[in-house]
Amino acid sequence: MGISDERWYKSGHYKFSRDKVLHAKRCVDLDNKVIKRFKISKVYSGVILLNGTYYNVIYGKATSQIGEARPGSLVWTIYNHSLPQLLLIKSKRFLFITNERYKSIENQFLSSWKHQNKLIPQIFKIFKIKNGNLEDRYNIKRTLVERNRNLANKPFNGRRMTAGNEQKRFHGTSVVCKIGETGKLCSSNKCAVCCIIKNGYKIFETNKNFQRFGKGLYFSSTSSKSDDYIKNNSGSSYKVMLLNKVIVGNAYKLATNCTGLLHPPQGYDSVIGIPGGNLNYDEVVLYHEDSCLPRYLIVYR
């Protein structure tokens, strides 16, 4: 069934087929590195260059019959790298990421639900957000921050930092459509969730209300705090929350309000709000739109 390391490496052309047949000249991952390891039991995503256009390829293992593919068959989806869309990462048909990754997202969401007065919710679905243009901009920004600060492997919150001190943080906002149920993006400009997935975070479209650390983009590691900011005008009983990759870089820590900020203090890339002073729960504020990438959409109630 499927693809071996040998074929992956040695064939200059690669044939994908599902409902169409395509020939790939080059297989790289999202960081533009040639994919070296390939095990059929796992799930990979990659990008192929076809006639000047980048296409993403998502591999999954069929867990039930899909068309001609029997359970255990390797199946794949190809789509234009520039087109924003959602992929259901776990369903009866496909597992688009590894079980461990799914569990770690679920665990991050549930274990950071800290508000005692709010019932712990149940996750209904998780989508992976694919938007090649945003990913490209984010990766460039991350490389720049790392080049300036040299953070990889330095200690942070009891762990070692990755390049750019990348973290996964939640963001709750308004939604007017049933994206959590359908997986389809709407065209309303009042739907902040869909606008963020399509166009990324925009500093001047954020909340005109009180902003504790000035004009920035606000995220939290506390899911129940981000839940407070959700305005669910969709008519759906399911809520949706974004889990984002954010480039924290060198963080400036603040425990008291500083509402006039337009950018982090000199030498810093972000502001972290520390609980204790004016804050009950943590937040991280980014002042550059390319520093935040919507990555997963968690659907729950």
Binding site for Zn ion (CB under 5 A): 177, 179, 186, 191, 194
Q: How far is the CB of 193 from Zn ion (least distance, A)?
A: 6
For residues 160 and 202, which CB has a smaller minimum distance to Zn ion in the complex? 202
The two three-digit tokens of residue 119, written as one number: 């019932």
Q: How far is the CB of 234 from Zn ion (least distance, A)?
A: 8
For residues 229 and 281, which CB has a smaller minimum distance to Zn ion in the complex? 229
DSSP annotation string for 214-274: SSSEEEBS-HHHHHTT-EE-SS-S-EEEEEEEEE--SEEEESS--TT-SSPPTT-SEEEEP
For residues 194 and 293, which CB has a smaller minimum distance to Zn ion in the complex? 194
Total length of the chain: 301
- Please tell me the distance from the alpha carbon of residue 130 to that of residue 185, in angstroms, as a whole number: 12
Neighbours of 57 (CB within 10 A): 20
Q: Are 213 and 259 in contact (CB under 8 A)?
A: yes
Nearest residue to 87 (alpha-carbon basis) of 95, 138, 66: 95
Q: How far is the CB of 167 from Zn ion (least distance, A)?
A: 26
For residues 59 and 300, which CB has a smaller minimum distance to Zn ion in the complex? 300
Q: How far is the CB of 64 from Zn ion (least distance, A)?
A: 29
For residues 86 and 246, which CB has a smaller minimum distance to Zn ion in the complex? 86
Q: How far is the CB of 240 from Zn ion (least distance, A)?
A: 9
